[in-house]
Amino acid sequence: MTLVAGIDSSTQSCKVTVRDLGTGLELRHGKASHPPQTVVDPRAWWDALLLAVARAGGLHDVAAISVSGQQHTPVFLDADGAVVCDSPLWNDTGSHPHMVALNAELGREEWIRRTGLPLTLSDTAAKLRWLRDTHPEHARRTAAVAVVHDWLTWRLRGFNDGSGDIHELTTDRSEASGTAYWSPQTGEYCTDLFVHAFGRACVLPRILGPLDRAGVTGTGLPGIPAGVAIGVGGGDNAAAALALDLRDGDAVMSLGTSGVVYTRSSVPVHDLSGYVCSYADATGHHLPLVATLNAARNFDAGAALLGCTYAELSDLALQAPPGAAGLTLLPFFEGERTPDLPHARASLHEASLANFTRPNFARAVVEGTVASQVAMLEALDACGLRVDRLFLIGGAAASTAVQTILAQMVDVTVVMPALDEYVTKGAALQAASALEGAFRTWPVALRELPRVALEKDIARQHRSAMAALGYDV
């Protein structure tokens, strides 16, 4: 039996899976937590990777490894490959004024035209400007900029912090596409955009093709033998799309800490409305994506306020009628990215003595969350991206209320993939491709949600609440 390993260095943790090459069946796994802060010493991610490997029983028996990771988050290195400073994560809001400045200097449409991205505070380019403006001494020392997956892959190849060759850094199209200095038309860096954001040029990771190898593992790595093939790796959503074998007409709705909806496209998308980000996928195609800041944490807030479990929140929501008797929640607890409302906060609308009940409130929490995600599907449709089948994944997807309300709001087939870690699985598939020079397809068990009558009042109430606060709808 040949084994391969996939590694997911996400925002919250590092996960490792060891799978059978032939079937994709997971044989063992390990996990280690990341620091909770939004500005983090990158070496914590390397330590977590090694700990997750140890908890997975080591990788002494695997033939190939590949890494997926949180997108956008930069790692700043000096000329010797040493980490210059802590890294601001994609969700750190400190780069918001720097994003505003970059958009003002070049114009938002220029960023969209050149990179396919409506520049946000999450993108690497905004973090470059943040470092230049707030920590000029660190910016002066910086000789190379990588993102998390790039740096961890480099470390796996045996390049050490402070004694490595920064010219050996590698990346893939999916990670490069999240920097806001990469062109989906040419597949190359827009180095002038990097220089505009940072003030000067730096070494950037070499962009590998979907089936390329990054190299082999180095010597002296705890739990990891030398000479193991390393796949190209990629961004987290690209890895999940690969594991799900996403095809034209398919879309994924992922409900985790944030909400993400993406689909597959053979051509890049340039959405001048500023909602759809045109990322690249792991296969040589494109992955148009829309994201919200608020998703599963809405249910944390609702369950805490009602003093109930997540299962009880779901049960309560299903006791209420569609539309929650008029009660509507706009769930912008952390501001919002889609729509672009960074300073907004959550609001409850049309509450009365008659409808302000526990079931109606629970339903309003779920409906408000799902309505925000359905609006992202509508943004994809406005770009001419057809969706016939919707994959529902993520921690909050297990909620019966989420499944029921989503089916009431969309006129497409909704399927639930079997519970799995699809990012680590996709990374393991990339490890397999490093061995075989082609992508395998591992089976995914799907459960189709029953079609139900559409409940148009849910979306109508959501739009009315948006209009009441003067938000652009």
The Cα 73–Cα 94 span in angstroms is 13
The Cα 409–Cα 251 span in angstroms is 15
- pLDDT confidence of 473, banded at 50, 70, 90? low
Beta-sheet strands, E only, within 274-404: 277-280, 286-292, 328-330, 347-349, 389-393
Per-residue tokens: 281: 């996928």
pLDDT, tens digit (0-9, with 9 covering 90-100), for 356-413: 999 999 999 999 999 999 999 999 999 999 999 999 998 899 999 999 999 999 999 9
Task: State how far the alpha carbon of 269 is from the alpha carbons of 125, 183, 290, 387, 420, in Å.
Answer: 19, 11, 12, 15, 30
pLDDT, tens digit (0-9, with 9 covering 90-100), for 231-243: 999 999 999 999 9
Residue 207, pLDDT above cutoff 80: yes
Residue 34, pLDDT above cutoff 90: yes
Residue 163, pLDDT above cutoff 90: no
The neighbour count for residue 348, using CB atoms within 10 Å, is 16
Model pLDDT, residue 340: 81
CB hemisphere CA count around 356 (13 angstroms)? 6
Give the mean model confidence (pLDDT) for residues 258-276.
94
Task: State how far the alpha carbon of 215 is from the alpha carbons of 171, 233, 284, in Å.
Answer: 12, 11, 20
Query: What DSSP string runs through 243-285?
Result: HTT--TTEEEEEESSSEEEEE-BSS----TTS--EEEE-SSSS
Per-residue tokens: 79: 């000329």
Chain-centroid distance of CA 378 in Å reads: 19
Model pLDDT, residue 101: 98
Residue 33: φ, ψ to 5°: -80, 155
Per-residue tokens: 376: 């992202």
CB 286 within 8 A of CB 269: yes
Cross-strand partners of 146: 75
Model pLDDT, residue 343: 85
Q: DSSP code of 449?
A: P
Chain-centroid distance of CA 383 in Å reads: 20
Model pLDDT, residue 472: 73
Model pLDDT, residue 24: 97
The Cα 463–Cα 329 span in angstroms is 11
Residue 147, pLDDT above cutoff 80: yes
Give catalytic status of residue 236 as yes or no. yes
Model pLDDT, residue 467: 96
Work out the mean pLDDT of the chain and round it to a whole number. 96
Give the mean model confidence (pLDDT) for residues 40-44.
97
Residue 150: φ, ψ to 5°: -60, -45
Tell how many helices (H) and how many strands (E) occur in the chain.
15, 22
pLDDT, tens digit (0-9, with 9 covering 90-100), for 441-451: 999 999 999 99
The Cα 75–Cα 142 span in angstroms is 10
The Cα 125–Cα 107 span in angstroms is 14
Q: In the chain, pLDDT over 70 holds for what percent of residues?
A: 100
Residue 221, pLDDT above cutoff 80: yes
Question: Residue-wise over 218-245: b if at least 16 C-beta within 10 A, else e?
Answer: beebebbeeebbbbbbbbbbbbbbbbbe
What domains are there in the chain, each with its CATH number?
3-232 (3.30.420.40), 245-411+443-472 (3.30.420.40)
3-class SS letters over 418-446: CCCCHHHHHHHHHHHHHHHCCCCCCCCCE
- End-to-end C-alpha distance for the chain, whole angstroms: 55
Model pLDDT, residue 293: 87
Model pLDDT, residue 179: 98
pLDDT, tens digit (0-9, with 9 covering 90-100), for 43-65: 999 999 999 999 999 999 999 99
3-state helix, strand, coil in the chain (%, to 5): 35, 25, 40
The Cα 13–Cα 418 span in angstroms is 22
The neighbour count for residue 352, using CB atoms within 10 Å, is 10
| Residue of 92, 236, 250, 420 marked active site | 236
Residue 58: φ, ψ to 5°: 80, 165
Residue 132: φ, ψ to 5°: -60, -40
Model pLDDT, residue 93: 85
pLDDT, tens digit (0-9, with 9 covering 90-100), for 301-327: 999 999 999 999 999 999 999 999 999
Cis status, amide bond into 210, omega within 30 of 0: no
In three-state secondary structure terms, 111 is helix
